[in-house]
Amino acid sequence: MGSYTEALQLGEYCPAEGSWEDDYDKMVVPLLREKQPCYLLYRLDTQAHGGYQWVLISWSPDDSPVREKMLYASTKATLRMEFGATQISDEIFGTVVEDVNLSGLRRHRKSAAAPQPLTMREEEMQEIKKLEVGVDIGVDTKHQTLAGVAFPIVTKALDAVKQFASGELQYVQLKIDTSAEEIQLVGSEANLPVTGLPAKIPDNAARYHIYRFDHNYEGDFFHSVLFIYSMPGYACPIKERMLYSSSKNPFIDLLENGINLAITKKLEIGEGQELTEEFLLDEIHPKVNLHRPKFAKPKGPANRGAKRLTKAPKDEAAT
């Protein structure tokens, strides 16, 4: 493309000699000029849509004049349309030779073929779908439920949960052993003040916690049972995040219906610092504004009469 005529023009061309990979660097690289943007169309050996496939290379060095860089950027769509977009199989952009040589083209293709990065939730759902196929159902194995994947709870952990339900323990922490795929006991406390609860939450692993929050509220004393699911985000591997997320509901069902534990509140947190006494009180006893004033429509001006649309005469409007 000429830099002063502002029209698409043929600059140079090279006839094919060997395979496209053999010819690529020795034909493309010599055509790249310092401080001079250009387009290069390079023909591949493969065909599609009734013709050869091509690579469109947009060369725009950083030290090129700004006006030329803008001109080339705004003209690429026209070039694609005039040449035939269906014949262009790859497009690469470069400011240095390493961006557009054969190695750069290969890196571009590898990057384009890679799957798009997933969010945490998408990764969890992808792993859950993998588990939905071929899961054995049995008394001593994990089994698929409508709410997730249930894992067996070892005897020691089950005994601790029963002791909690009977009032012998105030706190129980459990984990999923991802290799054995079972729920195990991490630790328990007969007495644990709420100020000591944050220190029990690990910052590098997911956990299930059961805690009895004994407290006074508005003259009454409460024994509130809390189920806390702690998950420190990306500090945990995807498999661990997925297993805890998909096993949470079946485990809660075991606590409520299998052990008859009345859970007051179910919480999900990222770090232990969230578990302050004020936070727990707000979760268990949410404040309700019973005296919120109703919206009162403002009164209109007195004696305004019927609505009407007025239009000033032309001579008045002009003054």
Query: What CATH number is given to the structural domain containing 66?
Result: 3.40.20.10
Q: Chain-centre distance of CA 65, in angstroms?
A: 39
Q: Tens digit of pLDDT for each residue in 153-195? A: 999 999 999 999 999 999 999 999 988 889 999 999 999 999 9
| Model confidence, pTM | 0.49
- Tell me the C-alpha distance between 14 and 104, whole Å: 21
Under a CB-based contact definition with an 8 Å cutoff, are residues 190 and 166 in contact?
Answer: no
- Tell me the C-alpha distance between 23 and 15, whole Å: 10
Q: Is 196 helix (H, G, I), strand (E, B) or coil?
A: helix
- The answer to the question of residue 319 being in a domain is no
- Tell me the C-alpha distance between 189 and 156, whole Å: 14
**Crossing angle for the helix pair 102-113 and 20-28, to the nearest 10 degrees:** 120
The arithmetic mean of pLDDT across residues 52-70, rounded, is 90
Q: Tens digit of pLDDT for each residue in 270-297? A: 999 999 999 999 999 987 655 555 555 5
Residues 160, 60: one domain?
Answer: no
- The answer to the question of residue 305 being in a domain is no
- Tell me the C-alpha distance between 52 and 24, whole Å: 15
- Tell me the C-alpha distance between 99 and 108, whole Å: 9
Residues 73, 190: one domain?
Answer: no
- The answer to the question of residue 67 being in a domain is yes
The whole-number pLDDT of residue 294 equals 57
Q: Give the tokens for residue 111.
A: 């990057």
Q: Is the confidence at residue 210, as pLDDT, over 80?
A: yes
- The answer to the question of residue 290 being in a domain is no
Which residues form the domain of 70? 20-113
Nearest Cα to Cα of residue 59 among 97, 24, 90, 106: 97
Q: Which residues pair with 183 in a beta bridge?
A: 153, 176
